[in-house]
Every structure is written in structure tokens, then in C-alpha cells.
Amino acid sequence: MDTAALDAELITALRTRGQRVTLPRLLVHRHVKQGDRHVTPEQIHAELATELPSLSQATVYGTLDLLAELGLVRRVATPRGMTTYDSRVEEHQHAICRVCGRVEDVEAVAGATRAIAAAEAAGFKVAHAQLTLSGLCAVCAAAGRS
């Protein structure tokens, strides 16, 4: 998706909610959506700081949370406590390396139906289900790390 289309996507979503369109929001949105990777708020801040020196980490965190609320990015919690953001919002799963923290997309149909039914039976209204696999990535496994 080109920059104009990305901007139009975000502008429409923000205006629908009556929220302001700002340069930092546009830049963070573009940066996440144009990269084919999982990124942390710290990585985004470091990569955009040269383009917009006044950009604060708090703004990056807030913008990413907003983008996740709008359904434009996907928040992925990792076992190491770090949150990464994924530009792919369609349903897919993640494999996370417990040594280096690498996050990989996994194309698999997850059988979350029973877990969702159990949660709903307990009175929980499920908005999203995500299966996360934990183990060793190919690099760490080949290096004998555990």
C-alpha cells in the first residue's frame, strides 16, 4: 500500500471517531504498515527520531495503542514481557523464540473454538483469540541455545 493510501486509511478511521490527524500518528502508522516485520515501540521511536526529532516515546506508545484499537495493527504480547506490533491484522498465529524474542508469523488454523466457548461460559465476552507458540527459532536452535 502506498503512502497516500495508508494516510487515507488512518485519516478515515480517525475522523470517524472524531480524533485529530497528526503528523506523528501518520508517520507511526506508515512505518508499521510499510515494514514486513514485528516491531517494538522502542524500535519505531529510534527509526523515526531522525525524521521527527520531537517525537517522544510516549507518543509512539500512545499511537500504537490507538492503531491497535482502530484495528489497523495487531498487538502481540511476548513471554518476555515485551509488546510488539504486527501490520498484519488478519487472523494468524505467532511463534516466539524464548531465547532471543524473535516473533514469526505462523499460518495455521487455530482451534480456539473450545477455549472461546469455555471463556464465554464463564461470562467473558471474547473479542479476539490468539494462539502463541513458544520455543526456539531456527537460529537459536542451530546455535544450541536453550
Q: Which residue reads 517525537 in cell numbers?
A: 55
CA dist 72 and 142 (Å) reads 35
At which of 65, 90, 115 does a domain end? Answer: 90
One domain, residues 60 and 74? yes
Whether 105 contacts 142, CB under 8 Å = no
Average of per-residue pLDDT across 134-143:
92
One domain, residues 45 and 107? no
- Parent domain of 8: 1-90
Contacts for 117 with CB less than 8 Å, ≥ 6 apart: none
Looking up residue 100, the CATH number of its domain turns out to be 3.30.1490.190
Full-model pTM:
0.81
In Å, what is the CA distance from 77 to each residue of 48, 82, 112, 121, 130? 22, 6, 18, 25, 10
One domain, residues 20 and 74? yes
Give the model confidence (pLDDT) of 23-66 as tens digits: 999 999 999 999 888 999 999 999 999 999 999 999 999 999 99
Cβ–Cβ contacts within 10 Å for residue 29, how many? 25
One domain, residues 9 and 78? yes
Average of per-residue pLDDT across 6-11:
96
